[in-house]
Amino acid sequence: MPVKVIAIRKIPEIETAGLRIQETEPGRELTVSLWVAWELVDAGLARLADEGVSDEEWTQIHYRERFQPVGQPSPLPDDFYLKAYLTFKRNYRASESDSSSLGSLDRRKGRFRDILESRIGKIIRLASAEAAVESRFLQKEESKLYNDLYSLVSTWRKEMRELGEG
C-alpha cells in the first residue's frame, strides 16, 4: 500500500532488490510502500504525511453513522479506511511505550466497529434493493463490496423469479 512520507532528515539513496529510493532532502515528500514508510519513521528519517483520523472526525463520523442508521451511507473523508489503518497503527505503536493511551485506543476501536457495522448494514440494504446507489458516498473498498453483493443478489433474485415462472 503506497503512502506519503515527509523527510525530516536527509534520506540517503537506498537500493535493494526490487526497491530504489532516491536521495531526499528534509521537507520533501515521497511516496513509498507502507512497510518502507514505517522503516523510515522508525529510523527517524521521515514522518507520515497523513495524520490519520482525528478525534473530532471519529466523533462526527460515529455520530452520523450511529444516529442516522437508515438510507444512504453518509460521506466519509477520502481514503477513510487507509487513514483509519494508519491511525490505529500509530496508536498501537504509541501504546507500546505509553500504556495511558490504551483507553483512547479502545474508544477508537469501539467507534470504528460501530461505524463499520452501520456501513455494512447500509451497503447490504442497498445491494439487495433493485435501485441504483450513488457511489460517491462509498469508499472504494465499500464500492467493491456493494458491487459483489449486488451481483450475487441480482443473480439469485433472477434465478428465483425464473423458478416461479415455471
Q: What is the pLDDT of residue 69?
A: 64
Comparing 166 with 135, which gets the higher pLDDT? 135
pLDDT at residue 166 above 70? no
- Report which secondary-structure segment, H or E, holds 122: helix 102-128
Rounded to 5 degrees, what are φ and ψ at 139? -75, 165
pLDDT at position 71 is: 72
Minimum mean pLDDT range among 38-42, 44-48, 91-95, 142-146: 91-95
Secondary structure E strands in the chain:
2-7, 14-16, 19-21, 29-33, 46-48
124-127-128-133 Cα dihedral, nearest 10 degrees: 120
3-state class (DSSP) for residue 28: coil
Q: What is the pLDDT of residues 26-80, one digit of tens each?
A: 999 999 988 898 889 989 999 998 888 988 999 999 998 877 767 778 889 988 9
pLDDT > 90 fraction of the chain, expressed in percent and rounded: 42
Cα 110 to Cα 129: distance, rounded to the nearest angstrom: 29
State the pLDDT at residue 10: 93
Q: Could you say which DSSP state residue 18 is in?
A: T
Start and end residues for every CATH 1.20.58.1030 domain found in the chain: 55-165
Structure pTM? 0.79
Question: CATH 3.40.5.70 occupies which residues in the chain?
Answer: 2-48
CATH number of the structural domain 2-48: 3.40.5.70
DSSP 43: T
CATH number of the 55-165 domain: 1.20.58.1030
